[in-house]
Structure 1
């Protein structure tokens, strides 16, 4: 009898543990639904995706919230040194300054290495593929066959950026004397538009948002040994065990993509969406 009771007790305890482990999954979504709002984390200075409460990701956050029948609450935040820090602050733990976490964070690289190093979060629903491109003033640089065409040219890049790292490191630093560094890629692109630069290396979305297809400023694919030409996908992230919220957000994203609304959101900001 004692053996039976002990076995029964162990079974009950195991069942209770399983139930307890599953409760937060539903409880997280229930809490969001009952609050009536979806808290969405977006980067503060990431034009054309999010900047001063405007951009592609802001419009996307609004569309996702509407799909879920919720009111959008935007949580803009400054980028930290690494994406892992941003995920910790805005997805699973909260910032030491007192804000966050959000229910979902947008513009997260959908990268297997990032996923494996951040087990507290679920990264999913890639909605755009970003790439690095060169845009030139066709009057200043009439033709572009290779990166050699940039020799002696004033080329703008954003400080502490992929573009800056690639160009400054190219060919043992052969372009360092002519590279001009700006606080943002958008500022560099406007300087190109005003005639102060010959070219700019930046993300394609940044270029498109400023020039919007102007034939006087053509775009070019530039091959760098350390940069995959296919680019990188961005998606969203929630807490690892928040499976219901992830499932519903994935469904909403699929519907936005299939209906063409996702492409229209990008187009409003002059950018062509590139689906993964």
Structure 2
């Protein structure tokens, strides 16, 4: 075979290889872009049981009316001018306790039930007077003169909220997947202790006094609102306000035998501000996006 023929064959082969390489490169450039596999992300879900604790402060208010009566005749006493038969007084103090509940999430809405029990340091005091006249009068029966320094029959009243609890519905909207604004309301109950000392004078001008106490477990209602945020899938923190009303009731009866008695009728309301933290049972929900 002649050298010129071999040269022609070699040049033709190189040209064919070059053309094939160019076509392959063109095919690669024309292929569409392939996306990365979808990532796995957490979904913030509020549904489930939870348990937690809280602490805060309460601004309570008690309004008490005193009805005096003659313990011999049983007839009511109409106190003279200058008497103090009604007083409203503050019952403020710290609170602490725990709560348990369950939430249901539907889209951006969260509904739930919650119950709590609280220790309370709320307490207050007021003084009342059934005023005397120059001869003693109806507030110091049997006296024909007024002992030195005597102003009448007095009642020093102390009151404290020993503990309270609530059982409430909750409902709110998620302003973001992790932040809930809610309203709440339902049943409230608590124990109110009333202590006091009734002081006066007997027919001989001698000072007499009696001290007593009573406790009442009251049932009332509460309403409020709060904000709660998810710190992790299992931990949330909240800030909550409640208004509580335990109603009106006959709270105590103090008696100086043969002289004067004092019946106490009271009501109690409370403004509660507390911060809390909850642990929600159950693990994270994972979905593809």
Greater relative contact order (CA < 8 Å, ≥ 6 in sequence): 1
Higher strand share: 2
| TM-score, normalised with respect to structure 1 | 0.23
Which is greater in Rg? Answer: 2
Return the TM-score normalized by structure 2.
Answer: 0.22
Q: Kindly indicate which of the two structures has a greater share of residues assigned to helix.
A: 1
